Structure 1
Amino acid sequence: IWTATPNPLEVHGDVVEVTIEGEFPPKYFEQGAAMYVTPVLRYEGGAVAYDAFTVKGEDVAGDGMVVKYKEGGTITFTGTVPYSPDLNASELFLVPIIYSAKEGTLPTEEEVLNSGKYYIIPDVKVDDGVIHTSKYILNNELAAISYHAYKKETLASSSAKIFFLVNRYNLNWRVPLNKLDANKEKLAGVNEFLALGWKIKDIEITGWASPEGEELFNRDLSESRSTTAHNYMIKEMKKIAKQEGSCLKIECPKDEVNWDITWQGPDWDGFMTAVENSALTDKRAILNVIKSADQANREEEIRNMILIYPEIEDDLLPPLRKATITVNCYEPKRTDEQIMAYGLAHPDSLKINELLYAATFYDNEVDQLAIYLSAIELYPKCYRAYNNAGEVLIRMGDYEDALVMLIDAEELKPDDGAITNNFGVLACHVGDYENAEEFFFEAQEQGINVDYNLGVLAILDGDYAAAQKLTGTPDCNHNTGLLQLLNKDYDAAQKTFECAPADALTYYLLAITGARQDNAQLMLENLMMAIEMDPELKIEAMYDREFLNYFDLPEFVAIVQ
């Protein structure tokens, strides 16, 4: 008695494996006999053979599986053949030849037939066709889009300082540092920035004091200096708002602006940095004295040093008696609607990040590609535009042009993980899975998460456990459902397919899910939907061994005829 497992056969990876078991009753297999068995898959127009195996009696020398005469016995053989679609509608036969093997077993069919003492037993059918459901995988590997880097909110700032005399907080433009042209330009720059009329986020004002004074006094002094700067800015903003050509629209700056006013007391960090950068010959000793002194004595130590090093008072301390002013504004931006429209109609009016951002508003590949091609024309050194155009062309099935785009992207940005990943995705779409895997591993080394893509390849290799771990089984994903189906988790597969994109292949796999659960209604309803969307699936289903048990069912026959 011969049996084959699985029945029907199944393709996993790129091979069709079969396990054949032969059961021989007692006193059946002669002690000096041997049987040469060739498993053959026959299909219309051809055949493919597994490796042959030999069964022999207990007195026969040579290779083979022994069956004892008195007891009988069971033998097991496992073999594989490469898969091809021709095998889908095939039948597995065993071709046994019994021969006298007094001289030992013979290794080939030709030698057996030339031995002169043989008997060809009628072929035995043991299996029916090859289930190829694992080949319904989608090349939905995740391509990598280069980030547009557009920021919907960008802050711009302008800063200046007001300086004060020692222990004073009144505004005095005769202070030497205030009279410097560089400082005047900074203050004028703040006014010009405000005159642009950009939306003000806030205005930061911070008061400081030089550290030679008493701590509490310096704290109050720095607060007064920040107040002086605050009042100064209120007056300036009122003036700017009234100037001809000014875009600043404000009536009461004190109430309409978000003021961030702080005071920090003595600027110890500024003093230490000034000493470090100075030309003082004993600056290391000065720094060590300040660092080693306790909080209460540091001010006194500085006052003592001023007597020895007058340049401390002349050069280092005056810049610390200040109030800093920083105006933070939101840079004007186009609305999303404008960027979207300009992306197609006026791409030359957009910056590169705006162009790449514009493409994200469109769902169809034609518009996306048009924007990326405009970006390439306007910004030919932008590798991101080439990479993203390549990704769109892959989705459009234009693999030749996609390759050109990715090559150009790589020339501009070698060793970029997103580009390398997309080379792998492209390789998958053209069936070059070996190189695809190499690209994905390289992209992984370059910092890209390629787990899902490697998981898809694991499905193709028949390693479903690794595939499930790598893909993470995302919800409503075609390949997730296929993986669940192959792992015989039929309830989960059904739920996944039912929420996956409703295309012909999804309905077809739902029909298979129903067939495997002996749910004829689920099978028939979804098979009908699949064929309505893709009539070519009619012939596919007619020979698909997933539906073997329904080949004679009238309702099934009516659908596939």
Structure 2
Amino acid sequence: MPFALNRLTGSFLIFLLLSITFSTGCTFTRMVKKAEKEQKLTVTPEVLMVRGNQVPFEIEAQLPQNLLKKNYNYNIRVFYKAAQGVEQHVGSLPFEFGNYNFVGGKPTIKTSFSFPYTPSKIQGQLMAQGVVTNPKGRKKFTKATLLAPGIRTTPHMIQVVHAPSYVADQAKAQVPDYLKFTIYFDEGLATLRKGLGTNFQQLDEFILSNQKTKRIDILATQSPNTDEYKTRNLAMRRAVALEQYIKKKIDTETYANTLSSIKFEKKVITNSWSAFLGRIQNSALPEEQIQQILDIVNGPGSFSEKENQLQELPSYEYIDMYVYPVLRYAEVTVDYVPTPRKDYEIYLLAKKIMQNRANADALSADDMQYAATLTPLLAEKKKIYESAVENYMSWQALNNLGIVYFEQAQKELNPKIKKNLLENAILNLQYAAHRNPTAQQFYNLAVAHHQNGNVLEAMHSYDYAIKQGGAIALLQNIFTDKAALELKLGQYDDAVRSISFAGSGYAAQFNKALLYFLKENYEGASELAVKLLQEFPEDASTHYLLAVIGARTQQESLMAEHLQKAVALQPTLAGKAIEDLEFVNYHKSQAFSSALKK
């Protein structure tokens, strides 16, 4: 009897175990099949688009009712599969307690994702795959689902000016009888600083060059904002600090000049809006904003009252960032005796110095710089500039050597060599900008950083170039390239502000149209692009952008018309259009095919 009972009990346990296993297996399989059949995945946008160096998107995942079972986990993994089959994990949507809401009685999750963009990913696929995990930790996977095909790259159509320049050639007959050095100060202070944005290096180099000096004038001023003009004797304290520095330098480190042989004079400008108005009228602000400022400054009221009124203007952020900082300065004017030489003497001596057959002091830094302009050979210019930098470290030679490297980089196809040339350009341009902090010098540096992908350094240099002030055409170029960088980074709101100061040049207007497009103002983008074509009718990029706008707005005739013109002007755009997902809905249309024919 016990034996029969044991057999009965054993059979029951086996049956129970098989039942549990079968039930578990059925639950596992049913969850996978139900998820594959009934889960709903929605991605926004339907076709991915790059923003900056990332590809952002949003997924909403909704599961069927009663899919989730106790002790079973359900997770959706999101990955991007590039054209070469390489998979990159992007993120996951875990349906865990507290991590989802019920919408219409169904578990729902909405999450934002992004992944780094590289050109190799353009033709890939955004995929999703469900993962069911049972109580024992075993996993089963649903079939992978296509969420979005590839990446749109229209935001990368950005146009730039990128026009760094050499220091202008200076013939000996035009060598000035005096030099100017502008020394900047921090807000409310008369303390000398030798960091970024000062001319101390250049001033020191001149003093140590021992050129005969007759007179040194120091004109010190202050910005008209409240903290500056209320600081007692601020401008005079700046002038005195600078005079003491120069006298000590001459007295202890030079031999050609003495303090008794040089006449010093100090002047200050206080409680004056003149320099401020000069900067404003030579700024990139729109005419109506300039007029608002002029009305306040030229109107009634005290300094503080006018400053308070300025703070209420929409242009005050520009004033505070780009105008006030460069009004806190002292200007040193040096009257000296230049020593010009004949061109052939300068050129021959420069070659001897370059070949180590003459001492570096046989020529001044200015003469060595001038010597490089006497040869048409780029390789020889580079050697002369290198020699000038090695022997004199003048900002002119540093700048021009940097521009030589930059120009070589533009012609280089090998990415590693190009990067190395740009890094050499940056090194020299950085030294030049810190020795001669002007808008052009910092713009040169910004462009080199921009092309080398040094985003923060480029943005910093663009900002500093704007603060220096300068010709309106130069400032507009700077704002145009700054806006282009902000567009590239996906900082569209910042780009809007910069473009408002960028003028009406080609790159500025194209980028403005592109910005309207990226903000989905297709009508405004189209109007700007059509206006741009009136001035530049042969511009393939603008025709291509209009073709994309036509595709986005489902205007097939607009798409076909401008795509045909773009391809006719630049045949390589045919290949781009075939791969461009902006035209994915038209790839089989007759209009699209006809537009690609030459």
Q: What's the TM-score once normalised by structure 2's chain length?
A: 0.47
Aligned AA for 1:470? S
- Which residue does 1:139 correspond to in 2? 160
Given candidates 468, 479, 482, the residue that maps to 2:496 is: 468
Residue equivalent to 1:495: 530
Deviation at 1:119, TM superposition (A): 3.5
Cα displacement (A) at 1:427: 2.2
Query: Which amino acid counterpart does residue 95 of structure 2 have in structure 1?
Result: V
Contact 2:399–2:432 (Cα < 8 Å) also in 1: no
Using the TM superposition, give the Cα deviation of residue 484 of structure 1 relative to its aligned residue in structure 2, in angstroms.
2.2
Cα distance in 1, alignment partners of residues 425 and 114 from structure 2: 41
- CA displacement at 1:387 relative to structure 2: 4.2
* Percent of aligned pairs sharing the same letter: 20
Return the match for 2:541 from 501, 505, 521.
505
Partner AA of 2:487 in structure 1: I
Does the 8 Å CA contact 1:410/1:416 hold for their aligned counterparts? no
Question: For each residue in 1:434-492, what CA deviation from the matched residue of structure 2 results, as whole angstroms up to 9, or x when unmatched?
Answer: 43224334434555654433322211110111101112264343322222221223334
Does 1:415 pair with 2:435? yes
Select the residue among 150, 155, 159 that pairs with 1:129.
150
CA distance in 1, matches of 2:377, 2:486: 31
Cα distance between partner residues in 1 of 2:421 and 2:132: 60
Structure 1, residues 29-52: CA drift from partner, whole Å, max 9, x if none? 445543111112223212222111
How far off is 1:433 after superposition?
A: 2.9
Residue matched to 1:181: none
State the match for 2:137 in structure 1. 115
After superposition, what is the alpha-carbon deviation per residue over 1:316-347, rounded to whole angstroms, capped at 9, x for unaligned? xxxxxxxxxxxxxxxxxxxxxxxxxxxxxxxx
1:480 paired to 2:480 = no
3-state DSSP of counterpart to 1:89: coil
Asked if the contact 1:406–1:419 (Cα under 8 Å) also holds between the matched residues in 2, the reply is no
Tell me the SS of whatever aligns to 1:535. Answer: coil
> Is the contact between residue 405 and residue 424 of structure 2 (CA under 8 Å) also seen in structure 1?
no
Matches of 1:496 and 1:419, distance apart in 2: 33
CA apart distance, 1:392 = 8.4
Cα distance in 2 between the residues matched to 1:146 and 1:455:
25
Task: Give the Å deviation of 1:76.
Answer: 0.7
Mapped to 2, the partners of 1:440 and 1:76 lie a distance apart of 39
Are 1:139 and 1:428, in contact at CA under 8 Å, matched by a contact in 2? Answer: no
State the shift of 1:92 in Å: 1.6
2:214 aligns with none
CA distance in structure 2 between the partners assigned to 1:491 and 1:504 by the alignment: 15
Structure 2 portions without partners, runs of 5+: 1-39, 172-365, 412-417
- Paired residue for 1:528? 564
Contact 2:529 2:542 in 1 (8 A): no
Within 5 Å, which residues of 2 pair with 1:439-454?
439-444=461-466, 446-447=468-469, 449=475, 450-454=478-482
* 2:513 alignment partner AA: G
CA distance in 1, matches of 2:385, 2:73: 73
Q: How many Å apart are 1:407 and its aligned residue?
A: 5.9
Q: Which one is further off, 2-11 or 139-148?
A: 139-148
Provide, for residues 114-145 of structure 1, a one-character-per-residue CA deviation record: whole Å limited to 9, x for no partner.
712x4422222222221111112233245467
Q: How does 1:98-247 map to 2 (within 5 A)?
A: 98-100=132-134, 115-116=137-138, 118-141=139-162, 143=164
Q: Distance in 2 between matches of 1:409 and 1:119?
A: 59
Q: Which ranges of structure 1 fall in alignment gaps of 5 or more residues?
A: 102-113, 151-351, 360-365
Q: Aligned in 2, Cα 1:493/1:24: closer, same or farther, shift over 3 Å?
A: farther
Alpha-carbon distance in structure 1 between the residues aligned to 2:556 and 2:149: 21
Aligned match for 2:55, one of 5, 10, 16? 16
Aligned mate of 2:454, from 432, 448, 454: 432
- The 1:546–1:36 alpha-carbon spacing in structure 2 relative to 1, beyond 3 Å, is same
Q: Secondary structure at the match of 1:12?
A: coil
Give yes or no for contact 1:383–1:412 (8 Å, CA) kept in 2.
yes
Match of 1:458 among 486, 490, 496: 486
Please say which structure displays the higher CA radius of gyration. Answer: 1
Deviations 1:70-106 (A, max 9, x none): 92242212111111112222222211112335xxxxx
Pairs within 5 Å for 1:58-73: 64-65=99-100, 71-73=105-107
Q: How far is 1:522 from its partner?
A: 2.2
The residue type equivalent to 1:443 in the other structure is: A
Partner deviation per Cα, 1:10-59 (whole Å, 9 max, x = no partner): 11011111111123344444455431111122232122221112114xxx
Q: Offset of 1:425 from its aligned partner?
A: 0.4
Q: Is the 8 A contact 1:497 1:509 kept in 2?
A: no
The worse-fitting range, judged by mean Cα deviation, of 82-91 and 430-439 is: 430-439
Give the distance between the partners of 2:377 and 2:83, measured in 1 at CA.
Answer: 46
Provide the C-alpha distance between the structure 1 equivalents of 2:480 and 2:495, rounded to a whole number of angstroms. Answer: 8
Q: Distance in 1 between matches of 2:464 and 2:403?
A: 18
Q: 1:405 to 1:95 in 2, by over 3 A?
A: closer
Structure 2 CA distance for partners of 1:403 and 1:520, relative to 1, 3 Å: same
Identify the structure with the greater helix proportion: 2
> Counterpart in 2 of 1:552?
588
Evaluate the alpha carbon distance shift between residue 147 and residue 492 of structure 1 in structure 2; reply closer, same or farther with a 3 A threshold: farther
Query: How big is the shift at 1:536?
Result: 2.9
* Separation in 2, partners of 1:430, 1:87: 22
Partner SS for 2:126: strand
Q: 2:242 corresponds to which residue?
A: none
Q: Which amino acid aligns with 1:480?
A: K
1:239-278 correspondence runs (5 A) = none
2:82 aligned with 1:43: yes
Alignment correspondent of 2:187: none
- Do the aligned partners of residues 505 and 388 (structure 1) sit closer, same or farther apart at CA in structure 2, a change above 3 Å counting? farther
TM-score by length of 1: 0.50
Structure 1 residues 496, 93: closer, same or farther in 2, change over 3 A? farther
Q: Which residue of 2 aligns with 1:257?
A: none
* Alpha-carbon spacing, 1:136–1:385, altered in 2? closer, same or farther (3 Å): same
CA RMSD of aligned residues (A): 4.4
Separation in 2, partners of 1:385, 1:486: 42
- Name the count of aligned residue pairs: 337
| Corresponding residue for residue 302 of structure 1 | none
SS in 1 for 2:435: coil
Answer yes or no: is the 8 Å Cα contact 1:54–1:64 preserved in 2. yes
Q: CA deviation at 1:538?
A: 2.4
| SS of equivalent to 2:74 | strand
Aligned residue for 2:362? none
In structure 2, relative to structure 1, the CA distance for the partners of 1:402 and 1:47 (3 Å cut) is closer
- For residues 92 and 401 of structure 1, what CA distance do their matches in structure 2 show? 37
Q: For the structure 1 residues 538 and 468, does the alpha-carbon distance in structure 2 shift closer, same or farther, using more than 3 Å as the test?
A: same
Instruction: Render the CA deviation track for 1:301-323: whole Å, top value 9, x for unaligned.
Output: xxxxxxxxxxxxxxxxxxxxxxx
State the shift of 1:552 in Å: 1.6
2:358 alignment partner in structure 1: none
| CA gap 1:407/1:41 in 2 versus in 1, 3 angstroms | closer
Range with bigger deviation, 538-547 or 385-394: 385-394
Q: Describe the shift of the 1:82–1:520 C-alpha distance in structure 2 as closer, same or farther (beyond 3 A).
A: same
**Aligned counterpart in structure 2 of residue 95 of structure 1, from 122, 129, 149:** 129
